[in-house]
Amino acid sequence: MVHLSIQQVGKTYDDGTEALSSVSFDVNKGEGVVLLGHNGSGKSTLFRCINGIENTSSGKILYNGQPIHDLSKKEIREVRKNIGMVFQQFHLVGNLSVFQNVLFGGLGKSPSSISVFGPFAKQEMRMKALECLDRVGLIHVSKKRADSLSGGQQQRVAIARMLMQEPELVLADEPIASLDPSAGKEVMDLLWSVVKERGMTVICTLHQPEIALQYAERIIGLHKGRFVLDQQTSQLDDTRFEWLYEKNLKNLSKEVISVD
């Protein structure tokens, strides 16, 4: 079942930068996709268009058949409740506790935002937050300030917060770029296992093709805002990714789908 359909999406920023150019692909429910591409290839822009933070300049984005490119702000907020985000810089609230940060994840879906917090938080939400923290192995630090944790732990809190939200689709934008290899592996193992066990769809950007191959079922590549690679991982080996990072695609092999 098609979950997300990107149809000839273009994005040109006000300053004239063309970040995306006629990008098209579909993602099925439950797929685990890694999005690769050099710095500035348009990966984060595409994520911002998918969750409606940024308007597209052309084309269509359908999420469960709903046209993201054509919804009101209120409608987009509703859709966004089902899209979880994980960022390179974690985006936790540093001076709140780990537990409160995870409760935050439930804000969107709680009938009353205020009821989620502090002593007023509903018991059910608090139990759920503890379960999410337990799943990421951090229940023992639940009372600590979020900014007192290591980078790897903070990213695991961000994953617990995302679990609290119970999204259908997870967009992870360079979730391990700020982490050392060992913490990065822990975070990728955790992220991939939680999304798979809950049947979530995930699109994750990475800068390491060799890591992409370990997790993704499918790899998509962007180059200068164009969609240039779409392969099932089982059909790929890492040596075939080098061309994706070439500045000039002219001399590249036939895997390139469409270039100038």
Ligand X SMILES: Nc1ncnc2c1ncn2[C@@H]1O[C@H](COP(=O)(O)OP(=O)(O)OP(=O)(O)O)[C@@H](O)[C@H]1O
Q: Residues interacting with ligand X, by CB under 6 A?
A: 13, 15, 17, 19, 37, 39-45
- Closer Cβ to ligand X, 44 or 153, answer by number: 44
Residues 223-252 interacting with Mg ion (rule: CB under 5 A): none
Q: Is 49 helix (H, G, I), strand (E, B) or coil?
A: helix
- Closer Cβ to ligand X, 2 or 259, answer by number: 259
H or E segment to which residue 23 belongs: strand 18-28
44 binds Mg ion (CB under 5 A): yes
What tokens were used for 1?
A: 């079942």
Residue with tokens 């439930």: 106
Query: Which one of ligand X, Mg ion, none interacts with residue 40, CB within 5 to 8 A by kind?
Result: ligand X
Considering the complex, what minimum distance in angstroms separates the CB of residue 235 from ligand X?
24
Considering the complex, what minimum distance in angstroms separates the CB of residue 36 from ligand X?
9
Residue ranges with strand state E in 38-131: 58-63, 66-67, 83-87
- Closer Cβ to ligand X, 61 or 125, answer by number: 61
Query: Which one of Mg ion, ligand X, none interacts with residue 226, CB within 5 to 8 A by kind?
Result: none
Mask of contacts with Mg ion, 53-92, x by CB under 5 A?
----------------------------------------
Complete DSSP assignment for 128-139: HHHHHHHHTT-G
Torsion-angle region of 109 (φ positive above 0: left; ψ -120 to 50: alpha; else: beta): alpha
- Of 194, 193, 195, nearest to 203 by C-alpha is 195
